[in-house]
């Protein structure tokens, strides 16, 4: 049986648009046995390219980056049964961000205020096929599961309900983005998650679903 020293190192790619964070985590991991940093990406597009070139085992992915953000990059990198495990590393601990990250295919979700040993343990867990979650994040997930038994609309995040309500009211994607203060790309991402969760195939069906379930009235509240 191979000892830890004989096992190949876990190949880690770090994607973060803040150089201080990116380099700092890289230096931290370089000093840990059994871990090899194979790339430092400045945004999601660079992370996607580096994954294809350097075949990391684990990707530490920031959420908010210019151009291709962490959600889109995770969707394009994470592949069930193959490809690296993507662990989100961010400062956001709210339900909407956690839900969107998990839906995008992330294997784990850690916060940037995690202790160094917690970060290393999360990387090792992800490499072993597990799903590392910061305790605060795990608590949020558990609370959501406990309150999601009332039907599809209850499984939607608050932001997804806002988007769906506006779709039901006939508001175009660009206007939804302006009204909610998010990008059009984020609106499209929310819609893809919504379609899966409520079991519809397109925008028209989603609008009809929203009207049947009384969500359209919520659009009036969102507009104020």
- What CATH number matches the domain at 10-143, 3.30.1130.10, 3.40.50.2300, 3.10.270.10, 3.40.50.1100? 3.40.50.2300
Residue 202 above 50 pLDDT? yes
CATH fold of the domain at 152-222: Arc Repressor Mutant, subunit A (1.10.10)
Sheet holding 35-41, edge to edge: 35-41, 10-15, 58-61, 85-90, 108-111
Lowest mean pLDDT across 1-15, 32-46, 142-156: 142-156
SS3 48: helix
Summarize the confidence of residues 3-10 as an average pLDDT: 72
Summarised one tens digit per residue, pLDDT across range 156-190 is 888 888 999 998 888 888 889 899 998 888 888 88
pLDDT, greater one: 223 or 17? 17
pTM: 0.65
Structure tokens at 209: 């679903």
- List the chain domain ranges: 10-143, 152-222
Cα 174 to Cα 188: distance, rounded to the nearest angstrom: 10
């Amino acid at each position: 049986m191979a000892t830890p020293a004989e096992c190949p190192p876990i190949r880690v790619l770090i994607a973060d648009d803040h150089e201080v964070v990116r380099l700092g985590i890289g230096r931290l991991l370089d000093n840990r046995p059994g871990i090899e940093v194979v790339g430092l990406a400045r945004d999601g597009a660079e992370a996607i390219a580096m994954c294809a070139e350097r075949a990391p085992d684990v990707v530490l992915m920031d959420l908010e980056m210019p151009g291709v953000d962490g959600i889109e990059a995770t969707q394009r990198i994470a592949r069930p049964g193959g490809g690296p495990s993507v662990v989100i590393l961010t400062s956001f601990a709210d339900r909407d961000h956690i839900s969107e990250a998990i839906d995008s295919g992330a294997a784990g979700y850690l916060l940037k205020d995690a202790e160094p040993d917690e970060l290393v343990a999360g990387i090792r867990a992800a490499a072993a096929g597990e799903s590392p979650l910061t305790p605060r994040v795990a608590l949020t997930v558990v609370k959501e599961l406990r309150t999601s038994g009332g039907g599809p609309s209850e499984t939607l995040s608050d932001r997804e309900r806002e988007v769906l309500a506006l779709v039901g009211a006939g508001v175009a994607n660009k206007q939804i983005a302006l009204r909610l203060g998010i990008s059009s790309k984020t609106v499209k991402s929310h819609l893809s998650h919504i379609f899966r969760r409520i079991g519809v195939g397109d925008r028209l069906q989603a609008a009809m679903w929203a009207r049947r379930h009384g969500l359209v009235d919520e659009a009036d509240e969102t507009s104020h």
